[in-house]
């Protein structure tokens, strides 16, 4: 059971929820991307590398500025991957402003004593470990303090990369093909995790979305149960997920358009007019109906206090399209509040102190029985649910 929220208690929870429900995109002064695969790979990773580049093109951002193909002659690939990370770090350090980095790996992986490890192919010794190469992206460090990062991992056990990294003030997302304890089911040709992500991005761009949330894309994949396995999303650091601007769909005056070319974005060109336009572009509401029920434990806060009442009122005042609801409040030690929300919102809160998933399902109807059970029964010792209307 997770430790309760301490300190300012209810106010800390309110601040966390305010950040998580914020619907505003962020302007980036520079966009960087990289792709990693093994030359000896036998999973058609070269096709997924192309699909990744296609996805970037669809978003209107520079296509894989760095592509690392680990050759058969590379005796110790970790140094090649480390060199890639250091190269990205140098480009971030040279840029005034904020950078978005999108990285991609497709191929084989396994979990051993040292954690998640990527390798060339069965019978091949070539490998590199996540924790000694890519994980530094997730650690609070002056090199990457002005960068948000999305890592897309299309491999067996890739969900293991979502664990055990410290929280920082930046946003770092891991988008994994499967859970930490799962292998990828044999792929249907041309229908990999990467291809599905690229296809969904294209659908969102065609409908005119001004930004893309990978938390929402993963939620839609979980909703479709594609195919009989669940991809993972984890906001590894920070409290607010990344919304990737769809530059092709942003309405920009004619005299700004030349400044939004891939070349100007890649070199970190800054322009306050473009920044204001991107910030004012509101994202479309999520189309996913995949929902989550979760609890939050708040220190020794009094559930009937003014603070809790204000928290419930604030949740009720949110735009209904956000989908966050309070279903129950249990006055106990600690106070427990039950929330209902889209899975994509829960995914950005998962792992924070005091937060715990109760269940997830497609649509409120599937969760209604559990919500009713929590309302009608007394699952917590010495605690009875308070009526939300009377708080």
Burial zone of 387 (CB within 10 Å; 0-12 exposed, 13-18 middle, 19+ buried): exposed
Q: Is the bond leading into 334 cis (omega within 30 degrees of zero)?
A: yes
The rounded distance, in Å, linking the Cα atoms of 48 and 43 is 9
Average pLDDT across the chain, whole number: 76
Query: For the segment 346-356, what is each residue's pLDDT rounded down to a tens digit?
Result: 988 887 878 89
Q: Which of 350, 357, 354 is nearest to 336 (CA)?
A: 354
Identify the sign of the CA torsion 108, 134, 348, 381.
positive
CB atoms within 10 A of CB 96: 9
Burial zone of 310 (CB within 10 Å; 0-12 exposed, 13-18 middle, 19+ buried): middle
pTM equals: 0.78
114: pLDDT strictly greater than 50: yes
Three-state SS string over 327-376 comes to EEEECCCCEEEEEEEEHHHHHHHCCCCCEEEEEEEECHHHHHHHHHHHHH
> Which of the residue ranges 19-28, 31-40, 278-287 would you say has the lowest mean pLDDT?
278-287
The rounded distance, in Å, linking the Cα atoms of 371 and 381 is 18
The rounded distance, in Å, linking the Cα atoms of 143 and 40 is 32
284: pLDDT strictly greater than 70: no
Q: Are 27 and 98 in contact (CB under 8 A)?
A: yes
Query: For the segment 195-239, what is each residue's pLDDT rounded down to a tens digit?
Result: 989 999 999 999 888 888 999 998 888 887 644 567 888 887 777
| pLDDT score of 351 | 79
Query: For the segment 298-347, what is each residue's pLDDT rounded down to a tens digit?
Result: 875 555 577 788 888 899 888 888 889 998 888 766 788 889 999 989 98
Q: Which of 344, 273, 284 is nearest to 27 (CA)?
A: 273
| pLDDT score of 210 | 85
| pLDDT score of 285 | 53
> Which of the residue ranges 58-72, 139-153, 196-210 would you say has the lowest mean pLDDT?
139-153
The rounded distance, in Å, linking the Cα atoms of 204 and 120 is 33
Could you give phi then psi for residue 251, rounded to 5 degrees?
-75, 110
């Amino acid at each position: 059971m997770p430790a309760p929220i301490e300190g300012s208690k209810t106010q800390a929870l309110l601040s966390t929820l305010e950040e998580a429900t914020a619907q505003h995109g962020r302007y980036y002064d520079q966009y960087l991307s990289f792709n990693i695969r093994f030359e000896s790979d036998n999973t058609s990773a070269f096709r997924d590398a192309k699909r990744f580049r296609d996805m970037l093109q669809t978003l209107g951002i520079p296509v894989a500025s760095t592509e690392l193909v680990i050759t058969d002659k590379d005796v110790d690939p970790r140094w090649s991957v480390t060199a890639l990370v250091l190269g990205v770090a140098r480009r971030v350090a040279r840029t005034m402003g904020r950078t978005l980095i999108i990285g991609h790996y497709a191929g084989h992986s396994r979990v051993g004593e040292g954690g998640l490890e990527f390798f060339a192919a069965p019978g091949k010794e070539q490998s590199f470990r996540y924790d000694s190469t890519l994980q530094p992206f997730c650690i609070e460090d002056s090199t990457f303090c002005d960068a948000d990062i999305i890592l897309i991992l299309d491999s067996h056990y890739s969900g293991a990369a979502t664990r055990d990294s410290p929280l920082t003030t930046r946003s770092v997302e891991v988008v994994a093909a499967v859970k930490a304890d799962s292998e990828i089911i044999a792929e249907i040709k041309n229908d990999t995790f990467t291809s599905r992500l690229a296809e969904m991005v294209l659908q969102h761009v065609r409908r005119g979305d001004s930004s893309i949330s990978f938390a929402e894309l993963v939620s839609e994949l979980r909703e479709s149960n594609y195919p009989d396995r669940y991809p993972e999303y984890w906001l590894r650091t920070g409290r607010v997920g990344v919304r990737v601007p769809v530059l092709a769909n942003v309405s920009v005056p004619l005299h700004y358009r030349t400044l939004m070319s891939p070349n100007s974005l890649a070199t970190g060109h800054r322009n306050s007019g473009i920044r204001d336009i991107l910030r004012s572009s509101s994202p479309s509401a999520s189309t996913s109906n995949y929902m989550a029920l979760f609890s939050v434990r708040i220190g020794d806060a009094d559930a009937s206090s003014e603070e809790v009442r204000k928290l419930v009122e604030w949740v009720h005042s949110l735009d209904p399209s956000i989908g966050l609801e309070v279903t129950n409040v249990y006055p106990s030690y600690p106070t427990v509040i039950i929330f209902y929300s889209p899975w994509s919102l829960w995914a950005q809160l998962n792992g924070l102190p005091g937060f715990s998933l109760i269940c997830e399902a497609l649509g409120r109807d599937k969760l209604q029985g559990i919500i009713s059970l929590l309302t009608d029964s007394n699952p917590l010792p010495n605690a009875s649910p308070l009526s939300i209307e009377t708080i």
